[in-house]
Chain A
Amino acid sequence: MKICEIKDLLGAEVLCGEELLEHDVASACCSDMMSDVLAYVKDQGVLVTGLVNPQVIRTANMMDMVCIVFVRNKEPSEAMLDLARDFGLVVMRSSLRAFEACGRLYEGGLGGKAGDAHVE
C-alpha cells in the first residue's frame, strides 16, 4: 500500500515527509510501548501510536520504519518533526483512535505480519 493511501484511509494530516507519499509499505504495527516495538516488530514499515515523545521517532528509525501515524490528534513537537525529517520518515496525524485506525488499514489491505513478528 502506498503511504498516500494510508493518509486517505485515516483522513490524516501529513506533518512531514510529503515527498515520500508514493513510497510502498507492506505491513504495520500499533503500540504505545516502544519496548515492545523494539522486541517484537520485524519489518513493519508503519507505526501507529498514541505515544508522543522523541523516542517514538528514534525507535522508528532504529527499526527502519518509514511512516509514523499519531492517533487521537496527538501533536508532535517541531523538534520531533525535525528529527523525523532527518531520518526520512513520513509523520502524519489522525483524529481516529488507534483501534479504528488499525481496523481501517487492515481492512484496506495492510497486513500486520503478526505471525512472523512473534516467531524467532
Chain B
Amino acid sequence: MSNNLNFHFNVDGENFSSAGEASVVVKKKLRQLGFPPDIIRRVSIAMYEGEINMVIHANGGDADVTVDDDYITIVLKDTGPGIPDVSLAMQEGYSTARESIRALGFGAGMGLPNMKKYTDSMEIDTTVGVGTTITMKIALNK
C-alpha cells in the first residue's frame, strides 16, 4: 500500500490522432518498472481499446491507472452518452461506430469483449445521458 503508483490522464475527445497516448505512456512506465511482458501486453490492449472508445464514443474523459501489490487497476471515466444495453455492447461484432470511424481502422465491435478477455475483472457502470465508468483489474499474483 505504501508503494502504490497512480497515473492520471485527460483523454482528449476532439482529436483522434492523439487517441491512445495515455496507453502508450502507461506501457512505457510498466516496462520501466519491470513488469512481465504478458502483463504489460494485457494492460496495454485493454487500456488502449478503452481509451479509443472514450474518444470515438464519448468525447473523451479521464483515465486513471493504479499499481499496487496485487493489481493494476485501470479506471476510464467519461461523461458521454452512456451505453443503453451493456450486454448487447459486450457482444463481439456489435458496434455503433460510424463509417468514418471504421475507415480509421476501428469500430469492429471487438473492443469491449477484448477488454474483458484481457483483464481479470471488468465492471461497467453506465447511465444513459450521464456517462460511463469502466474499471478493469489485472492481477499481479506475485
**Residues of B contacting A53 with CB < 8 Å?**
16-17, 104-105
CA distance A63 to B114 in the complex (A): 13
- A44 CB to closest chain B CB, in angstroms? 13
CA distance A59 to B111 in the complex (A): 13
* Residue B106 interfacial (CB < 8 Å): yes
**Residues of B contacting A63 with CB < 8 Å?**
41, 45
A interface residues, how many (CB within 8 angstroms): 20
CA distance A54 to B20 in the complex (A): 9
- B90 CB to closest chain A CB, in angstroms? 14
User: Is A55 within 8 A of B114, CB to CB?
Assistant: no
Q: Give the secondary structure class of A's interface.
A: helix
User: Is B105 within 8 A of A35, CB to CB?
Assistant: yes
* Residue B107 interfacial (CB < 8 Å): yes
- B residues adjacent to A (C-beta < 8 A): 16-21, 23-24, 27, 37, 41, 44-45, 48-49, 52, 102, 104-111, 113-114, 117
- A residues adjacent to B (C-beta < 8 A): 32-36, 38-39, 51, 53-56, 58-59, 61-64, 87, 120
